[in-house]
Every structure is written in C-alpha cells, then in structure tokens.
Structure 1
Amino acid sequence: MPSKTPTPSDFPSQLTVTVTPTSTSSAPAPNILLLLHGLGDSAAAFTKFGEALHLPETTVVTVQGTAPLPFDLGGFHWGDDVSFDSATGAIDMDAGLVRATRILVEDVVRDTLIRKCGYSLREIMILGFGQGGMVGLVTARELGIRNNEQQSGSLSGVISIGAPYPLSGSRVGPTNRSPVLLVSGRDSVVVSDEAVRRTKQVFEFVEVSRYARKGDSMPSSRDEMLPVMQFFAHRLRSRQGVPEGSMEIS
C-alpha cells in the first residue's frame, strides 16, 4: 500500500512535474497515472487532459520533457537529440530516448514513486502521446528488466497514443508483461502493422485500437476515448469504478 501522496517537491528539482491528486479520498490513492506529453508540448498543457479524465482513486503525475526544443520552436521533447525526417522535414520522434528513459526509471519511478511514496509497479500506469508514448514504452521495458531480476512484477499498463515501440529501443531479452494499449488513426503511417509487430516483440500483451478517421492525434470524441477508459477500468485498482461521465472529453 502507498504510504504518501507524491508532491512536486518529492521529485528532483531539475524536473518540471505537476501532481493532480484524487478527489475521492484523503488517503493516498491506490493508483498513479504517469502522463508523458508529446513532442513540442509541456506539462502544463498535458495536465489539463489528466484533470479532464476524473479518474477515481488515481493521482495523476505529469512530467515535462527533459529538454526544450531548439530554434525557439517552443515546447519540450524527450529525445537525446533533435533530428529531422529527410522525407517530410518534420522533427523525428525516434531520436534516441536513453537519457529520458533513465530519468523516468530512476528518478521518477524508482526513487520517488516507489522509495519515497511506497507505490509498487503494479500500482503505476503510464499514458504517453507521440514521443511521450515511445519513451513510456521503453521505460516500461527497462523497469521490467530490472524488476525481473528482483521478482517485483510489471506496470499496471501502458497506453501509447500515436506511437509504437521505437526502432531505437532494444528488443533483446524476454517479453515484458506490462499490458499495452496502442491507439492510432486509421491507416497510420507511424503505428503501422510492422510497428505493431515490433511492439509485440517486446510486450506480451498488446491491444490495438484505431480511430475510424485518419490521424494520430489525441482522442477527440467519446467513441475514440472509450477503449482508453475501458483499459483504465480493467487495469486501475478502484473500488468505485470509472464514472461514466469521465468519457466526455471537451
């Protein structure tokens, strides 16, 4: 059982973190939802999404990307570097995620959520968008490898919206048992059939949900959000369940 609700001051000072505590109890919530924003976003903006979920018995922790984008582009990213896709000219999400993964594994999950606050891996879920989804998947894998050695289990789950397991991530070793939900648009170039197969080489349980429309943006309707809420309902530890109104995204 968790011993305390995390606060921003529990995390290393170099990290920008927001904490949205549960409103359903004064005791530490039995679940942590770790939110990781997409490339070019910020913790402040992504926190609003976490607040809109209204998940019972769940404390939402939003972590900001580990480096600002260059050239006055605004926002933050999770990559070891910034590279551009030669075909599209857009910033490449898969730019190496070693540094960000280490910070999330050691500073956020192990040192703060587990050691300081008393949570177990089974009480922690990750939801990431775009590049945040990629680093979330790699973080889950790294935590699984380290915890297989200690026989400590796996995460409650990982939801990655618009991103598969990255090409730059290692696929050596046993499959990870953290359940994964991949969310993407119809005919997604990023979350392609090959990318789904790559993700399944790393994780034992992978579910894929595709929008009826094209585009890998965040869910924008009740129907698009429903698979995410069902994943929450199946994986989060909550006696009260997920309120029906939580599916409405404004």
Structure 2
Amino acid sequence: MKDINVQTPPTAPRNKATPPQQSACHLLFDYKPSSDGIDLNLLILLHGLGDTKTPFSALGPKLNLAQTATIAVQAPQPVPYMEDSYQWFPSFDFLTGNLLPPSNPERMKGMLRTRKWMAELLQHMVSVCGFAPSNIFFFGFSQGGSVALDTVLFGDIPNLGGVVSISGYLLEEQEKEKKVGTGYGGYILVTQGEKDGLVGSKASAEKKFKAIQRFCSPSAETSQIFITNKDHTMAHSEGEWRVIHTFFSKYLARRNIQLENMSDVYLVNP
C-alpha cells in the first residue's frame, strides 16, 4: 500500500495583479482591474482600422467577465489626414486613398513592428503584472482581430490563452510564414457576417479561416460562426454576443475562492 502524504495547502494566490506601467511600453493602453477584485485572467481588446482604444476601454467592463482584468490597446500609427484615427499597420495609399494590396511590403513591415510592441506589452503583463500566458485572451475587431491572431500564432510569447476575432483574419502575406513549432494549441473563435462585403463570400471567409487553422496544432480548438444579416461591423446582435460569452465562459480560468478559504481543506498526495 502506498504511503499517503497529507499537507496543508499552499497559500492562496494573490487577488490583485500589479497594474501595468505605460512608461514600460510603446503601445498606449487603458487598463482596468476585474470588477470582482480577482485579476486571474487578462482580456486584451484591440480596435479596428480607423478607431481608437476609447470605445473598447468602455466595452471591457461591460463584458462583465468573472475574475478578468481588461486592457484596451491603441494601434500605434495614425491614419493619414484623419483625426483620432489609428491603424495597426499601413493600410492606405497616400496618393489614391485606396487600401494597400497584399503585394505592398509596407503592410507586413508595419505588422512586424506591431508584433514586436505587442510582445513588449505581453512580457510586461507576464513578468511585472503577474498574469500567466495561458490566462491571457484577446478580443479584436477586423484589423484588431488580425493583430490578435498574429500575436498568438507568430509572437514571442507562447501558450497564450485564446482569441475572439470579429471579422478579422490573417493578412494574405502571412500565409507564407513558417509554423511555430507544432503550432498554436489554444482556443480561437472567429465570428463572421454573412453579408460582409469586405471579407467577401462565405467561401472566401472559410478559406481565410482554414489559413488560420494551418498554424494551429491538432489540440487547438477553433471555430468559425457566421452571423445572418450582418456586414463588416462589430458584434451587436444578441445571438453573436451569446456565442462570444459562451466562448469566454468555457475557456477562461476560474478560481474557487470559497474552497480556498476553507480552513479544513488539505492537499493529499499519494
């Protein structure tokens, strides 16, 4: 018969994360601790092309995710000739005003710069603020969703928790990148409007989603949900938000505070 080793459980982890310091990061952000006082998870919110962090800073607390702090990050580059408008990578031709094609190298140069600064922010959130990489999730719209996917699939911080991308996919140029190790093994949800004229047809969206899956490991859990009567817009219907909240409720970590506070609980090891 094996011996039984009974131990007093280790001290419960701290509830509050150390707030991030803006001076340590290139990217501007608004950080808000969890409303329930337990900063176990971190949700990083990334806006779309031409927006700012302000609407997403307000969105974070409204999501009301248990034990989850939020940080809304602003894209680093102003959109030329537009006030209070930012982009994660160069998107427009200065002369014509048209969107840059995938053949333009400035798009990928900008994405790589953003990837570097996202890694800087994440390293700060992990090493200084105390968040575990597996408890860090992303919520991004359009171009912000592309950055979120880039960060988890190709970034320097491995084993990040997951991504919710609203109508955001990898850049076409990124399909040529090399798979990192065995691939990303976390959780990805992409919601897509059936009438999204920017992404294109349903077949086009499904092809873009398969490009994401090629950089994931067999253990990754990925899903693409099409929303009826929706164009290229942020989530706004009850049905889409239900899908998003179901994703977070399933994959965000949760501490059992009631169990931690019980004085007669012991750790039993064979």
When normalised by structure 2's length, the TM-score is 0.75
How far apart are the structure 2 equivalents of 1:50 and 1:171? 32
How far apart are the structure 2 equivalents of 1:21 and 1:4? 8
Match of 1:198 in 2: 211
Work out which of the residue numbers 252, 258, 262 in structure 2 matches 1:236.
Answer: 252
Q: Which amino acid aligns with 1:82?
A: S
1:82 matched to 2:91: yes
Please say which of residues 119-128 and 196-205 is displaced more in the overlay: 196-205
Match of 1:218 in 2: 234
How far residue 63 of structure 1 moved from its aligned partner, in angstroms, is 0.7
How far apart are the structure 1 equivalents of 2:78 and 2:18? 25
How far residue 91 of structure 1 moved from its aligned partner, in angstroms, is 3.4
How far apart are the structure 2 equivalents of 1:65 and 1:100? 8
Match of 1:175 in 2: 183
How far residue 89 of structure 1 moved from its aligned partner, in angstroms, is 6.1
How far apart are the structure 2 equivalents of 1:213 and 1:22? 34
Cα deviation 1:105-128 (Å, max 9, x = unaligned) = 1x1101x11110122211100111
Report the CA distance shift for 1:60/1:22 in structure 2 as closer, same or farther (over 3 A): same
- Bigger-Rg structure (1/2): 2
Report the number of matched residues.
227
Match of 1:66 in 2: 76
Report the CA distance shift for 1:100/1:21 in structure 2 as closer, same or farther (over 3 A): same
Cα deviation 1:14-58 (Å, max 9, x = unaligned) = 432101211112x5x110001111011111121122121111110
How far residue 156 of structure 1 moved from its aligned partner, in angstroms, is 1.3
Report the CA distance shift for 1:23/1:160 in structure 2 as closer, same or farther (over 3 A): same
Report the CA distance shift for 1:186/1:113 in structure 2 as closer, same or farther (over 3 A): same
**What is the aligned-residue RMSD (CA, Å)?**
2.7
Work out which of the residue numbers 98, 108, 124 in structure 1 matches 2:121.
Answer: 108
1:128 matched to 2:140: yes
| Contact kept in structure 2, 1:123 and 1:155, CA below 8 Å | yes
Structure 2 unmatched ranges of 5 or more: 1-12, 257-270
When normalised by structure 1's length, the TM-score is 0.81
How far apart are the structure 2 equivalents of 1:221 and 1:69? 29
Report the CA distance shift for 1:179/1:93 in structure 2 as closer, same or farther (over 3 A): farther
How far apart are the structure 2 equivalents of 1:53 and 1:3? 20
Counting aligned pairs with the same residue, the percent is: 24
Match of 1:15 in 2: 27
Structure 1 unmatched ranges of 5 or more: 148-153, 241-250
| Contact kept in structure 2, 1:179 and 1:203, CA below 8 Å | no
Please say which of residues 62-71 and 3-12 is displaced more in the overlay: 3-12
